[in-house]
Chains A and B, each alone.
Chain A
Amino acid sequence: MKKILFLFTLLIAAVTGIHAQVTFSPATFTAQDQVTLTVDVTGTPMAGQSEAYIWIFSNVSGGGKDGFTNTSWTNSPANAKMTAAGTNKWSFTFTGTTMFSQTPGELKDFGFLAKSKDGSRQTPDYKPFKFDPLVFTPTVFRAFPAKVGQDDVITVNFDQNLATELNEQRMTPTTISITAFNGSTQIGTTAVTLNVRNTGSKTWAATFIPTRSFTVPMGGKITSVRYRFNGTVLGTTGATTQVSSGETVLDLTEMK
């Protein structure tokens, strides 16, 4: 019964967007920066508890490690203890490279949860939170500048030399399809299509300004854009076939 109650609580937490209850100081940080996270555990099994311990892990999508404070689930050490930061709020300060014993190049993101010392209570996972990269890693799709706002000029680049998917390797890109979102709500009903330009040997780009390409409802804002490159390949009969790349999500930064 307790297990069912716990699962139900987790489900409610996910639906109500409890993930948004995590803040960071500073707001952006590299794996070498000291950062303080603060989490609001209201609505989780950790609500109302007098102490909380962190359970932290790196690279959520693979290649991750436990933080050095993850020694025993049923007996968290003193250095995993979180600091009270208000009613149902707990904070914890750490540096990525020290916490995970990984290099800045290895560390992409991390996740964590808050738990009781004996592990009988816990919050859902809060993840993933990205580290600002300290080393440049070439990627198939790259936005320039890397951090942009809704009013900025954004150039999205497609480097076919780095592609690992056959259509992305073979295609001759012609257009890009872009959709804009405010949170999880799409702005407008159709994607904006723009022409792409050739910028080098098998490299392509398209440039746009989100607020120029999309009509943002009064009081709304664009928090992310999703894009895919479209193009043609020759089919087995010699006929031209339309194909698209995978979709890439670009989170926008609130600027001033």
Chain B
Amino acid sequence: MNKIRFIVIAFLASTMFFACKPEAYKEVGEPANNITAITGSWQLAKVVQVDKDAENKGFPFKEADLTSLFPYTEFRLTLNSANGAPTTFTTTPGNSPRIITLASGTWSVDDIKTPKVITLTSGSTSQKITLGAYPNAVSRRLKVSLERRSAADDKLLIGYSYEFVKQ
């Protein structure tokens, strides 16, 4: 009787043992490529000007939406890349104020995986723009900002925020 009980227990135990398998989790995959995300042809959709000095002092008038005051939405920015690395850029202002003064050239980033500052270069001239957010599944907008500082003492006086939509 004891032998039969032992055999049954051994059988059940072996069944349970063979039923155990490691969980088959899916691969995490490659991290999102932010250079690819910001590559493409972008059209300016929103412009906000911030008085940084007023903001610091807590004054009542801090920012203004400029989008409808000039034909900003005619401005286009194309960022090209190859093999996940920045290559060339072009800007087409139309009748918009030239928010980026350079017409074409090359672009580079401060960090290839998680870029924050884009440097646009044309010959010996360069212009830096700061990324506000990478386009992703939640927001497909490319957000960048420009700073304007006093030439005399480098004090931050004005900030411009730009939102682009992909063409």
Enumerate chain A interface residues (CB-CB to B < 8 A).
Answer: 26-28, 132-134, 136, 142, 144-149, 152-153, 155, 207, 209, 212, 253-256
Q: Assess the A207–B69 pair: CB atoms within 8 A.
A: yes
Q: Assess the B150–A255 pair: CB atoms within 8 A.
A: yes
A253-B157, A255-B157 in contact; A153/B150 too (CB < 8 A)? Answer: no
A209-B97, A212-B97 in contact; A134/B150 too (CB < 8 A)? Answer: no
Q: Assess the B149–A255 pair: CB atoms within 8 A.
A: yes
- Across the interface, B158 reaches (CB within 8 A) one of A27, A145, A212, namely A145
- Give every chain B residue within 8 A of A146 (Cβ-Cβ): 51, 53-54
A149 to B152, CA, bound (A): 12
- Give every chain B residue within 8 A of A254 (Cβ-Cβ): 150-152
**What is the distance, in angstroms, from B129's C-beta to the closest C-beta of chain A?**
15
Q: Assess the A144–B64 pair: CB atoms within 8 A.
A: yes
A253 to B154, CA, bound (A): 12
- Does chain A have a CB within 8 A of B61? yes
Given pairs A136-B59, A145-B54, A145-B157, 4 additional interface contacts (CB within 8 A): A145-B49, A147-B157, A153-B97, A253-B152
Q: Mark B32-55, 1 if CB is under 8 A from A, else 0.
A: 000000000000000001011110
Nearest CB in chain A to that of B61: its residue: A144
Interface of A is mostly: loop
Q: Assess the A153–B54 pair: CB atoms within 8 A.
A: no
Q: Assess the A153–B57 pair: CB atoms within 8 A.
A: no
**What is the distance, in angstroms, from B103's C-beta to the closest C-beta of chain A?**
16
Q: Assess the A153–B151 pair: CB atoms within 8 A.
A: no
Within 8 A of A (CB), among B3-44: none
- Give every chain A residue within 8 A of B148 (Cβ-Cβ): 149, 152, 255-256
A256 to B155, CA, bound (A): 10
Q: Assess the A136–B57 pair: CB atoms within 8 A.
A: yes
| Between-chain CB contacts (< 8 Å), 17 pairs | A26-B155, A27-B150, A28-B153, A134-B57, A136-B59, A146-B51, A148-B157, A148-B158, A152-B158, A207-B66, A207-B69, A209-B70, A209-B97, A254-B151, A254-B152, A256-B148, A256-B154
Minimum-distance CB pairs A-B, first 4:
A27-B152, A145-B51, A254-B151, A136-B59
- Give every chain A residue within 8 A of B153 (Cβ-Cβ): 26-28
A147 to B151, CA, bound (A): 12
Within 8 A of A (CB), among B121-138: none
- Give every chain A residue within 8 A of B61 (Cβ-Cβ): 136, 142, 144
- Across the interface, A136 reaches (CB within 8 A) one of B60, B64, B150, namely B60
**What is the distance, in angstroms, from A20's C-beta to the closest C-beta of chain B?**
14
Nearest CB in chain A to that of B159: its residue: A145
A1 to B102, CA, bound (A): 62
- Give every chain A residue within 8 A of B150 (Cβ-Cβ): 27-28, 147, 253-256
- Give every chain A residue within 8 A of B154 (Cβ-Cβ): 256
A146-B53, A153-B49, A254-B150 in contact; A28/B69 too (CB < 8 A)? Answer: no
